[in-house]
Structure 1
């Protein structure tokens, strides 16, 4: 029986690397996969998933209006060996899209592996993450550490000088130059400065 998995963590924990490894495992065994990445993430290229350690793969780009259920339902006829759906940056999903991927699992019987952040730079949940945390069959935390050695659970946006950014749009694409993973204690300390 297929399940919906949500692999979540703070920044720089290896979510994308884990996704690409899962994709490789399926393909190595002769099974097809479908990979998805949000259109707004163009750090490498549109329709490309790339990890910090150099692994990459092509993916279908999605926006807020993309219908996962209809796409997978249509593509499964063209790919009879399709066995798994993988979604990078799943925090950017909308509530309706989390409902759609739930239907992919329940009605089309494909496992869906969604990878994303739990919260933004203000400690607020992303829409996609909030519903994945509620509706996923399996929640898997991918751990990373704060500079102090404790588990990092928070994402802090920083400016060019390394100071905490406290206001701004929830979504701003960036990597190590814009975000750091912190434990809750150090996250709150940075907000006080």
Structure 2
């Protein structure tokens, strides 16, 4: 039976790498996959490239807040059978889109694998993560580590000087220059510290 999976983690845990590996495993067995990734500025179904930090990449359909996943997959599936749908940056999904993905599983019997963050830089749930936690059949945590060696389950937002940013919009696209994954203990400590993250890391070693 097909299921809806939510693979979640802090940043830099290899979510995109895991997604691309799963897609490759299907394709290696002659099965067709459809990949999606977020493009908040796109108004059409144009293609984007999903690329992992270790250099793996693949073409994917762009989704935004207006994307109807169920209708798109029904249309594609009628022309050429789909064996799996994979969604990168699924934390940007909204409630209706998570329900759409559930319908793909329940009505079309196609497994859907979603990969994304659980919480933002304030430790608040993203919309997509909230509804996937409620609707997904399987919840799988992908693990990475804090600079202290503990499991990272929080993300800090930093500026160019390594200072912690405590307020702002939930969505700010960036990589290692803007976000650092840490454990809960150091998430709380960093938010209360006047020092830059770089100095705090050095001090804790």
TM-score range, shorter chain: over 0.9
Counterpart Cα distance in 2 of 1:52 and 1:151: 20
Counterpart Cα distance in 2 of 1:40 and 1:152: 27
Matches within 5 A, 1:43-192: 47-80=48-81, 82-192=82-192
How does the TM-score come out when normalised to structure 2?
Answer: 0.90
User: Does the residue aligned with 1:36 lie in a helix, a strand or coil?
Assistant: strand
The 8 Å contact of residues 40 and 65 in structure 2, kept in 1 or not, is answered as no
Counterpart Cα distance in 1 of 2:120 and 2:71: 29
Counterpart Cα distance in 1 of 2:135 and 2:96: 12
Runs (4+) off by over 4 Å: none
Could you tell me which residue of structure 2 aligns to residue 4 of structure 1? 4
Counterpart Cα distance in 1 of 2:23 and 2:109: 18
The 8 Å contact of residues 10 and 144 in structure 1, kept in 2 or not, is answered as yes
Paired residue total: 190
Matched, 1:27 2:38: no
Could you tell me which residue of structure 2 aligns to residue 15 of structure 1? 15
Q: Where in structure 2 are there 5+ consecutive unaligned residues? A: 194-205
Larger Rg: 2
The 8 Å contact of residues 41 and 173 in structure 1, kept in 2 or not, is answered as no
Deviations 1:63-101 (A, max 9, x none): 100000000011001212x10000000000001100100
**For residues 149 and 50 of structure 1, do their structure 2 counterparts lie closer, same or farther at Cα, with a shift above 3 Å needed?**
same
Counterpart Cα distance in 2 of 1:78 and 1:180: 43
The 8 Å contact of residues 17 and 53 in structure 1, kept in 2 or not, is answered as yes
Counterpart Cα distance in 2 of 1:9 and 1:61: 22
Counterpart Cα distance in 2 of 1:178 and 1:172: 9
Counterpart Cα distance in 2 of 1:187 and 1:166: 11
1:46 offset after TM fit, Å? 5.9
1:40 offset after TM fit, Å? 3.0
Q: Where in structure 1 are there 5+ consecutive unaligned residues? A: none
1:5 offset after TM fit, Å? 0.2
